Structure 1
Amino acid sequence: MAAGAMVLPYVLPGGSLFAPTGSRKANHVVFCMFAGGVRNLESVHKNDGNLMPSMLNGNESISSDIVSSMSALPSPAVSSPLQNFGTLYKEFRYDQGPTGHFNGHTTAITGQYTNSSLSLLERPSYPTVFELYRKHNTPSMSALNSWWITHTNNLYPILNYSNYAGYGPTYGANQLSPNDLFSSRTVPNLINKNNFSGNNKELQDDIRKFMNNNFGGGLNASAGMKNDTEDAEKIENWIDKVLQDISSGSLNNPWNIPSYMNGDMYNIYFAEEVLKQFQPELLVVNMFGVDTCHTDFSGYCNAMRRADWAVGHLWDTIQNTPGLANDTVLIVAPEIGRNGTPNSIVDANGRPALDHTNSDPMSKEIFCLVAGPPSVVNQGKVISQEAGRSIDIVPTIANILGFDSEIPGLLPGNVLHDAFI
């Protein structure tokens, strides 16, 4: 793709930023939302065995009926579970607001509770972590330092910036939905050997349309969002290389998974590629495969195990990338939990499915894992009592990157001090 030939509507300007901020714990933060609604019973409590061996210690055997429904995976990409490299909050809470996915995402990304009037067609009412980072950090930082990698171009990209006065698109994140833009699985015939060439205007137009998808519902696609010329060229050149790799078939299964790479794995794979290519200081990525639990409990367990494997691979990539290794804090948490009371749907193993409703307190029970360098994060620490809330993640990120004292009273949550040295 010729440099400068394609304008990416989610790529935002470097902007004029505020004064340098305080001391940092680390120079990079990756926040991975283990999203789709994960119940503590199947994750940290291991009621059906250890479905998350890349993240959690323990050799608890997975229930035999669940094993029969699971697809093959290689051994974990990490030599030791992630909880040994950090602090595990076993009883974290999403303790206020409706237990919907978008509410949970909004709370985690803004550090503010949401309510039932939250509109799915409007940007958040409070600044996102991306805006807070970019407005209250070092002036030299560009938008290349802040990325939001979403599982879909529907709805979730609007969380890259808010409607809050004094913030907005100038301080938003570069947003990317790899499963929409880069996947020939979900976009049949968009990218293949026969129709791709570096000067294919039709393909460029198609990609632009896909990148515009999340601006449906009356949102303005021309909200002043673009990188400066140098950064835009870097991103376009990188996308060009990715498209060439897809056209050659080299990205059909880049992790060589023996069964298949699902959407969560592809999302994490491209988050890793962004980390390696641009080394942003702040990257947020979500996964969503476990939401199959509405109709298929066994499939939910399978998706949880695959998402866990992907998180382990993400950590391994961070530790093997110069510039990120020993200088990155990884935070992993679901956006919401799931009900204790099942619905009426039963899967092939006779397991009842689970929704997530506000009336069921288990839907507000989640976990949080904070992993990082031993000089920064407490290693192998487990906090078993109820501690920490979704709204604490944004102030914790701000504290790690050294700008929490610069934020003008916008965050009601607390820094997760127990996780740090």
Structure 2
Amino acid sequence: MERRNFLKKTALGSVGMLAAPYILPSGRLFAATGARKVNHVVFCLFAGGVRNWESVQKAEGNLMPNILSGNEAITNDIASSMSALPSSPLSAPMQTMGTLFREFRFSDGPTGHYNGHTTAITGQHTNTALNLRAAPEWPTVFELYRKHSNPAASATNAWWVSHTNNLYPLLNYSSHPSYGPQYGANQISPNQLFSNSGLNALGNSYAIDPDVAEELDRLRHFTNAQFDVPFSAAAGLENSKEGRDQIQAFINRMVQEAQGGQHNNPWNIPSGMNGDMRNIFYAEQVLEEFKPELLVVNMFGVDVAHTNFTEYCNNLRRADWAVAHLWDTIQNTPGLANDTLLIVAPEIGRNANPNTILDANGRPALDHTTDDAVSREIFCLMLGPSGVVNTGNVVNQVTGQSIDIVPTIADALGFLPETNGILPGRVLQEAFV
């Protein structure tokens, strides 16, 4: 298919996907251990700001029964406002299948959503100088994996499934001089890409925050250029025709199914699927089609906590169900089952003290600010094959930080950092046998 027609008929011409598949040059700053723990890692950012009080500490009862063990009853007023959900996709809570760090920390930097995402995806703390119009300073987990794990592998092995196109596609790759767009992942924002407005505007940019429109447009031009530039003129890059054709067929199929209504409520949720569920659903489609070695997906529905505490609790419960469905899909997908490490962690917490906005139940809403220690309290759950990940293990002491997730992913996929300052965190060895 001609490039122009391909970009028009799929979403690759939009900002919905910001990187094309390509073959990488060699070169290592990381030492390959040759001893992978698993061949696939899925990192789910349970994002939007989740306070430990409502999650692992169960202040309102067990709002996350698919992830956490325990039958603590949900507070009456919250329970009466919960959306109906099907029974659990799993036979037991995920906590029993892996290691739960109950007192994880986002230990440094402003407690903003984008700061939290940047720290989790780069393994580096951020500061107030974080540029919301530029790629991060330090390499992302996608770049580290693409450059140092298996440089000859197709880019279809790395995916970033973000809940929106606002800011978050910038986390695909960094401005670090040793890395950059040639080491990025394939990136999609399916809630926009496959929405009614997205389907009606394929090949065009979406209405996005003007503060990042310029940067996203630059990334879009980079993507388009990769279809025309030969290997010799593209700074060592070469498109993988096989990967490009597979992505083309996948996007075409997703578009057709979405237009046919097959994605309206594929999980048969009685109350309907929210944005978090839909983003996880599309991440599952990517996993089943490409079986990537690295996939990062995020959720954001709980951020309604700024104005509605009850709906925050409701969306926390829906996100919990979605993660259980994700793990069930992984365990029932040949090539991924018993060979995948799943990491689940919020990007930041929320304040100890509420703001002045009350919901229908008279519950005050919650913000997140840097000077509030509770907004730094998060959790982390790691699941994987038996014999690799400790099962039923709960780490109750304050240990582990969000900067430790990228080194743990690097360790699981068989490459470790040398002393170069790129990853200051540590491998979360407590999770492994």
TM range (shorter): over 0.9
For residues 414 and 68 of structure 1, the distance between their equivalents in structure 2, rounded to whole angstroms, comes to 43
1:212 Cα deviation after fit: 9.4
CA contact (8 A) 2:417 2:423 kept: no
Tell me the equivalent position of 1:89.
101
In the TM superposition, what are the counterparts of 1:336-347 in structure 2 within 5 Å? 336-347=348-359
Question: For the aligned residues, what is the CA RMSD?
Answer: 1.8
The aligned amino acid for 1:39 is R
Tell me the equivalent position of 1:64.
76
1:15 equivalenced with 2:10 (yes/no):
no
CA contact (8 A) 1:4 1:236 kept: no
**420 and 65 in structure 1: CA distance in 2 versus 1, 3 angstrom threshold:** same
For residues 14 and 156 of structure 1, the distance between their equivalents in structure 2, rounded to whole angstroms, comes to 24
Tell me the equivalent position of 1:216.
213
For residues 30 and 212 of structure 1, the distance between their equivalents in structure 2, rounded to whole angstroms, comes to 29
CA contact (8 A) 1:21 1:406 kept: no
Query: How many residue pairs align between the two structures?
Result: 404
1:342 Cα deviation after fit: 0.4
> Is there any run of 5+ residues in structure 1 with no aligned partner, and where?
192-202
1:229 Cα deviation after fit: 2.5
The aligned amino acid for 1:209 is N
| Identity value in percent | 59
**418 and 60 in structure 1: CA distance in 2 versus 1, 3 angstrom threshold:** same
Tell me the equivalent position of 1:194.
none
For residues 413 and 343 of structure 1, the distance between their equivalents in structure 2, rounded to whole angstroms, comes to 34
> Is there any run of 5+ residues in structure 2 with no aligned partner, and where?
227-238
Secondary structure of 1:284's aligned partner: strand
Secondary structure of 2:283's aligned partner: helix
Tell me the equivalent position of 2:230.
none
CA contact (8 A) 1:3 1:233 kept: no
CA contact (8 A) 2:137 2:175 kept: yes
In the TM superposition, what are the counterparts of 1:292-303 in structure 2 within 5 Å? 292-303=304-315
The aligned amino acid for 1:223 is F
CA contact (8 A) 2:23 2:151 kept: no
In the TM superposition, what are the counterparts of 1:17-416 in structure 2 within 5 Å? 17-18=26-27, 21-22=32-33, 23-184=35-196, 187=197, 191=199, 206-210=201-205, 216-219=213-216, 220-221=218-219, 222-223=221-222, 226=226, 227-405=239-417, 408-416=420-428
CA shift digits 1:242-293 (9 cap, x unpaired): 1111121111101011111000000000000000000000000000000000
Secondary structure of 1:223's aligned partner: helix
For residues 334 and 415 of structure 1, the distance between their equivalents in structure 2, rounded to whole angstroms, comes to 18
Secondary structure of 1:236's aligned partner: helix
Tell me the equivalent position of 1:5.
5
Tell me which moved more, 132-141 or 101-110.
132-141
Secondary structure of 2:114's aligned partner: helix
**157 and 57 in structure 1: CA distance in 2 versus 1, 3 angstrom threshold:** same
For residues 120 and 14 of structure 1, the distance between their equivalents in structure 2, rounded to whole angstroms, comes to 29
Secondary structure of 2:265's aligned partner: coil
Secondary structure of 2:342's aligned partner: strand
The aligned amino acid for 2:36 is R
**111 and 51 in structure 1: CA distance in 2 versus 1, 3 angstrom threshold:** same
The aligned amino acid for 1:217 is E
**212 and 324 in structure 1: CA distance in 2 versus 1, 3 angstrom threshold:** farther
